Amino acid sequence: MRQTFAMDRISHFDFDAVTPVYDALSRLVYGRRLEQAQTIWLGQISPGASVLVLGGGTGSLLGPLLARQPGRVLFLEASGQMLARASRRMIREQLPGQVDFQRGTEQDLQPADQFDVIILPFVLDLFTNATAREHMLPKILGALRPGGTVLITDFVRTDKYWQRALLQSMIWFFRLTAHIETRQLPDWQQVLAETRLTCIGKTPQVWGMVSTEYWRS
């Protein structure tokens, strides 16, 4: 097991303040459904594939991911507190494999950073459509090899009133605590459809509030 750390530029978001309660709050509202949703398409990862996990939080995805025996894994997370918890999880659970833990965002990716698989777990809902379209996705797609895969798990818009109310309350909570950009849930699926990616499969999760999707270049 190898872990390396790098300090890079980070976004104006600040999830450090919510790190101590992040997992507990998620499980209080959703149980382990959010964690389980992130694993739906991991079977698409071939052994030896290079993988970028962008915004992996406290690292709940690491165990199921490393079980796929990927090659290089870059765990890129803007929150130093989240990053520290993810690295401690790898030690505590004695997870096999190699992971480079780096503090930063997609804007810190270098031209040499090229991946077969990019995983975006609950990341796109933090940005407005315009930011995702003009700044975030171009950097991400620039790091994706031809024929590469993007695995996305995120909240989606819903027609049910109680779900819309819950999602909106989450957005305002994270605006106040972590200073996220968006004021309403973005239509990230439409933004992705405008790129060179093609949606291969999608599965609704968490009472239809979450979609876990498999896109390919």
Architecture label for domain 2-216: 3-Layer(aba) Sandwich (3.40)
CA–CA distance, 100 with 136 (Å, rounded to integer)? 21
Q: How confident is the model at residue 12 (pLDDT cuts 50, 70, 90)?
A: low
Residues 31-86: pLDDT tens digits?
999 999 999 999 999 999 999 999 999 999 999 999 999 999 999 999 999 999 99
Q: In terms of Cα–Cα distance, which of 129, 127, 105, 121 is closest to 182?
A: 127
Q: 155 or 8: whose pLDDT is higher?
A: 155
Asked whether the predicted pLDDT for residue 7 surpasses 90, the reply is: no
Instruction: Report, as an integer, the average pLDDT of 103-111.
Output: 92
Neighbours of 94 (CB within 10 A): 7
Q: How confident is the model at residue 11 (pLDDT cuts 50, 70, 90)?
A: very low
